[in-house]
Amino acid sequence: MTDTRDASPDEAVSLIDRAAEQAGKMLEKIFAAAQPGAVFGQPVEAGSYTLITAAEVTSGGGFGVGMARGPAPKPDAQQPPPAEAPGAARKQFIGGSGFGGGGGSMGRPVAIIAVGPNGVTVRPVVDVTKVVLAALTGSAAMLGLQRTMRRARKDES
């Protein structure tokens, strides 16, 4: 994240330009996940077999930029103006800009391709944790709904 609250307008614009460059590089990295090299691993030799891993890859990200300027607030009449403020007298406006972004990627093994003397086989990889979590979430939602319906029926009778 870049914050240019104390920078002059020119400095802020140059910082935002640099941030936009960084954002472009970040987007390039995100879209690199669309290449098949991101999904298939390098072939690994194991005995008489050659194994290639296949994974599902998801990546995403985004960024935002903002800049604002406005008139400087009038100095408080009760407080004396700061004496050692260089250029304070000609500072007619106040402003700032900010840039931020984020992203992430996730991979999950799907299958292993085995090339051996008996031919080519594709062995699926089952993520038991994900399946169990889906089953638990589904059953918890169903049980919760059934309990609510039972309670509603009891209240009616």
Partner 1 sequence: MDVLGTSEASAESVTMHGVTVTPQSRALILRLPKGGLVWNRPTAVLVEQEGRVRRIPIVDITRILQVGLLGLAVLTTSASVRRCRRRTGGAA
* Positions that interact with partner 1 (CB under 8 A): 23, 27, 30-31, 33-40, 43, 50, 52, 54-65, 101, 103, 108, 110-111, 113, 115-117, 119-120, 122, 124-127, 130-131, 134-135, 138-139, 141-142, 145-146, 149, 152-153, 156
What is the smallest separation between the CB atom of 15 and partner 1, expressed in angstroms? 17
What is the smallest separation between the CB atom of 108 and partner 1, expressed in angstroms? 7
Q: Which is nearer to partner 1, 94 or 135 (CB)?
A: 135
Q: Which is nearer to partner 1, 13 or 51 (CB)?
A: 51
Dist CA 90 CA 132 (whole Å): 67
What is the smallest separation between the CB atom of 73 and partner 1, expressed in angstroms? 31
Dist CA 150 CA 26 (whole Å): 52
Closest CA to 8 of 94, 83, 75, 71: 94
Dist CA 16 CA 97 (whole Å): 8
Instruction: Label residues 81-99 b or e (16+ Cβ within 10 Å = b).
Output: eeeeeeeeeeeeeebebbb
Q: Which is nearer to partner 1, 94 or 149 (CB)?
A: 149
What is the smallest separation between the CB atom of 152 and partner 1, expressed in angstroms? 6
Place of tokens 């290449």: 35
